[in-house]
Chains A and B, each alone.
Chain A
């Protein structure tokens, strides 16, 4: 099976994101960039299939500025292959952790005219297709899709692997081809949003620590405060 993973480079999830002085974008100075977490789960899910069946090809692609190469190199170091032209299955992270839109997966399936299943946690190859496990309230829906198909990934069964040292060395030597959107005949205009402003979330604070009395007394003070002061009971 040939699997393609479109990925996005975003600020690492441990980064404290700050708004830039222009008030419309984020301050990028000193930021650590990583593969978006759900894309990493998609990579892990695909690599698990490659571990089980070495004939599996796992290719990665991204759209982004020059620094995005580092994300592709990271994916190659984890064990992904170089680009392949024909694909049976596309796995996307369910959303990128920057704008949290969750648009690319379903939209790509729509443009390709392929079926898709969103927010999966497992893919099982089957005769002439794949079984896709989708996490829903209270369990998993299991769907069978003919190939080619697309799925967006909520989580892999295992945590994403770290690149091995040989993997990192090999990835350094691999060529990463680059194409301008215009050279691919892509028209990047279309209905979208403009950012009016960005701000940090309101600062919480001024909370109180309840400490007078034993556990039972504090518990009662807290319950009373939640009812009479916070009015949430």
Chain B
């Protein structure tokens, strides 16, 4: 199978999901990795450049990371080329002249196996395909975005006041999320300190973003982000079904909640029944000590 991988960068580095799908593409056969060079992502110039590349190279499969931009680009590209399309899949297997895909549906409440005819365009959920340590970085070919296709004007970037240097939530290997149990935004530093001790990203329950303690972009759950880290730590989160939908595929789940009957304990690998305000400072210290030793 001939696969074209669409690369994405965060700053100067390739995104982890790009490495993940490049490994998958090599498993499936012949792989080419392209990066679209432009000032910033915009659908029309990126689709136009990529469509020309695809028409010239005729890959059987185009793989993208199911990131904010990857999902948008994949959808419009599939419509332009009239190719079969599946978004946010978690595994891909060759099946004759088709693909067999694993795809979570109904916000993770159902896992579907799908058969998708080739040629196809598929976006892959970050973190779904394990990346071995020291995986070789792929050779990336750059193509220019087609600026002549643009119909929009970029006005400005309005930064969030709380913008941090932490890893992006949807690709983080460790996520520490806080809920109503934190009692107020003045206690949020407890979540951040633990996240920093673990080298992870910060998330929040919907109760917290709705209350305005944290920006929407940090919400984990059905109307927020879906995360699949190696370690998910839920602090003072009761575990509403909409929240669980966004994090239940995490490899290891730790829950701290003072209510022993909280639903979050039903899916947690490690649970601590405690007030987060008392337990988290001790836990942060213990993590620092354990990581140092």
Report whether over half of chain A's contact residues are helix, strand or loop; otherwise say mixed. mixed
Q: Which of A64-72, A82-90, A111-119, A161-169 contacts B (4 or more CB under 8 A)?
A: A111-119
CA distance A155 to B159 in the complex (A): 17
Chain A residues closer than 8 Å to B42, beta-carbon distance:
143
Complex A-B: 21 CB contacts under 8 Å: A11-B106, A13-B241, A37-B223, A98-B105, A101-B88, A103-B79, A110-B79, A118-B72, A131-B155, A138-B159, A138-B164, A152-B72, A195-B115, A196-B115, A199-B110, A200-B109, A205-B266, A207-B267, A223-B290, A232-B252, A233-B198
How many CB-defined contacts (below 8 Å) exist between A and B? 255
Checking A103, A142, A194, A225 against B87 with a beta-carbon cut-off of 8 angstroms, the contacting residue is A103
Do the beta carbons of A194 and B115 come within 8 Å of each other?
yes
Partner of A215, one of B78, B268, B279: B279
Q: Interface stretch among A14-22, A54-62, A174-182?
A: A14-22
Assess the B154–A222 pair: CB atoms within 8 A: no
- In the bound complex, what is the Cα–Cα distance between A223 and B40 (angstroms)? 41
Give the interface centre of A152, A207, A219, A220 by most chain B CB atoms within 10 Å. Answer: A219
Expressed in whole angstroms, the Cα–Cα distance for A220 and B283 within the complex equals: 7
* Size of A's binding interface in residues, CB under 8 A: 82
A-binding segment of B28-36, B177-185, B270-278: B270-278
Tell me the complex Cα distance, A198–B115, Å. 12
Assembly CA distance A144 to B107 (angstroms): 32
Q: B138 in the interface, Cβ–Cβ < 8 Å?
A: no
- Enumerate chain A residues within 8 angstroms of B40, measured Cβ to Cβ: 141
A226 close to B231 (CB less than 8 A): yes
* CB-CB nearest in chain A for B113: A196
Residue of A nearest to B118 (CB): A191
**Contacts A210-B272, A226-B270 hold; do A16 and B241 have CB atoms under 8 A apart?**
yes
Q: Are A139 and B157 in contact (CB under 8 A)?
A: yes
A197 to B152 Cα, complex, angstroms: 42
Complex-state Cα separation, A198 to B242, whole angstroms: 20
- The reply to whether B286 and A107 contact each other, CB–CB distance below 8 Å, is no
Closest to A97 in B: B107
Q: Does A183 contact B (CB under 8 A)?
A: no
Given known A-B contacts A109-B76, A155-B223, A196 and B274 have beta carbons under 8 A apart:
no
A142 adjacent to B155 (CB under 8 Å): yes
Q: Which residues from chain B contact A207 at a C-beta distance below 8 Å?
A: 253, 265, 267-271
| Chain A residues with CB under 8 A of B291 | 227, 233
In the complex, which residues of chain A have a beta carbon less than 8 angstroms from the beta carbon of B158? 133, 139-142
Question: Which of chain A's residues has its CB closest to B229's CB?
Answer: A232
Query: Which residue, B83, B286, B289, has most C-beta atoms of chain A within 10 A?
Result: B286
Chain B residues near A102: list those with CB within 8 A: 71-72, 75, 87-88
Decide if A17 touches B109 in the complex (CB within 8 Å): yes
In the complex, the chain A residue whose C-beta lies closest to that of B67 is A137
Give a binary string over B213-249; 1 marks a CB under 8 Å from any A CB, 0 the rest. Answer: 0001100001100000011000000000110000011
Report the bound CA distance from A144 to B152 in whole Å: 6
A32 at the interface (CB under 8 A from B): no
Say whether B137 faces chain A, with CB atoms less than 8 Å apart.
no
